[in-house]
Amino acid sequence: MKEDEEVEAIVIANVDPRKLNSAATALLQFDEIRKIYVTTGESNLTIEITTKTLKSFHEFLTSKVSKIEGLSVASSNMVTQTIKSEDKTMSRFDPRQL
Q: How many percent of the chain have pLDDT more than 90?
A: 76
Beta partners for residue 11, in sequence order: 47, 76
**CB atoms < 10 A from the CB of 15, how many?**
21
Q: What pLDDT, on the 0 to 100 scale, is given for residue 97?
A: 56
At the topology level of CATH, where does 7-80 sit?
Alpha-Beta Plaits (3.30.70)
pLDDT digits (tens, 9 = 90+) for 13-53: 999 999 999 999 999 999 999 999 999 999 999 999 999 99
User: What's the CA gap between 11 and 90, in Å, rounded?
Assistant: 24
Residue 12 has pLDDT above 60, yes or no: yes
